[in-house]
Chains A and B, each alone.
Chain A
Amino acid sequence: MRRLKTRYKENQWVLFKKRDVFIYALLCFFLIVAIYYGYNSLNGSMIEVRINGSIHYRFSLEEDGIKKIETNGKKLMELLIDQGDAKIINSQCPLHLCERGSLKQSGVLVCVPQKVIITIANQNDPVQNSDGIDLITG
């Protein structure tokens, strides 16, 4: 019976090699940067809602309640703020993946189909809203 030969010889596809240390060191470096960056994302008392890259809403994390997120009169989702944390509910996207997890868990809530990203911000952070869209605060 004819058999196919592997392109790489057996000693070329072993599980571990000494030089792998460089790859693992690089990943450790990225991990430290990611943890530092992620940890900083949890600081702040405001919630910032960006739709298609520009800030549309700012809410206080201390005021519990349900906030409607909409653009051009179309409801996208609701944001439930409860005891210093927030999560997306009743999203109009097909898969509802954005409803998993909370803002304090991951530092960010994302809904790709609706182009919405929700993050924590400081009250003093500058509002960079280049589109001239009305900013709603609550």
Chain B
Amino acid sequence: MSIGKEEKSFLSLKLTYLSVLTAVAITIGILETVIPPPVPLGGFKWGFSNSIILMILIIMGEKEGFTAAVLKVVVSNLLTGRFLGPSFFLGLGGSLSSVYMMSMLMKSKFGLIAVSVFGSFTSNLVQILLAAMLFIGSLKVFYLSGYIIGVGVFTGFLNAIIAYGGIKWMKQIDILS
């Protein structure tokens, strides 16, 4: 199957945007590993790289969001030497569930802050659930759920503001229409 010159140039442009944004998400993901986590639980992170995934969802859509989320978790864990460790599995589960939830809420036309806050909450909840099922073997880890919701609301709110500001800025400097 041959694709036209116009479509080829559009695909290259899309790939460039996706690569750059994914690289930013990976960088934030790596930086987060040196910041103490909000909940005293190994593998748990703040989740600020979700702001970039949210931008990808708005600019490109669901498929690209999932691609970026998987790449972010795999590459950042490979580079920090945590590949296939608890952090990898918690991060993968959290990221994928968050992208799924955020894309569902985007389609249902909710506001960006609500989408992001619920995405962060879902990511945190899935991470705790995976920690309980795969590593701890006890649901008593859910005693931390108050922290999970608090952290989800805080990071989700900030992520929405960052994503909103980021896209506005990209439009302002004329690289997005």
Q: A81 to chain B: closest CB distance in Å?
A: 18
Chain A contributes a number of interface residues (CB within 8 A of B) equal to 50
Enumerate chain A residues within 8 angstroms of B59, measured Cβ to Cβ: 4, 6-7
Top 7 A-B pairs ranked by shortest CB distance?
A: A53-B137, A112-B42, A20-B114, A17-B111, A34-B145, A108-B143, A23-B114
Q: For the complex, would chain B's binding face be called helix, strand, loop or mixed by DSSP majority?
A: helix
Q: Is B158 an interface residue (CB 8 A)?
A: no
In-complex Cβ contact of A98 among B40, B113, B148, B167 (8 A)? B40
- The chain B residue with its CB closest to the CB of A40 is B143
Q: Is A35 an interface residue (CB 8 A)?
A: yes
Q: A20 to chain B: closest CB distance in Å?
A: 4
Across the interface, do B58 and A13 meet the contact criterion of CB distance under 8 Å?
A: yes
Interface centre among B114, B142, B153 (most CB of A within 10 A): B114
Report 18 cross-chain contacts, Cβ distance below 8 Å, ordered by A residue.
A4-B14, A5-B176, A6-B176, A7-B61, A12-B109, A19-B109, A19-B110, A27-B152, A35-B146, A97-B37, A97-B40, A107-B143, A107-B144, A108-B143, A110-B41, A110-B136, A115-B135, A115-B136
B residues near A, CB below 8 A? 9-10, 13-14, 17, 36-37, 40-43, 58-61, 85-86, 105-106, 109-114, 117-118, 121, 131, 135-138, 140-150, 152-153, 160-161, 164, 167, 174-177
Bound-complex Cα distance A100 to B141 (A): 15
Across the interface, do A15 and B113 meet the contact criterion of CB distance under 8 Å?
A: yes
Enumerate chain B residues within 8 angstroms of A1, measured Cβ to Cβ: 174
Enumerate chain B residues within 8 angstroms of A110, measured Cβ to Cβ: 40-42, 131, 136, 141, 144
CB-CB under 8 A for A38 and B146, given A5-B177, A112-B136: yes
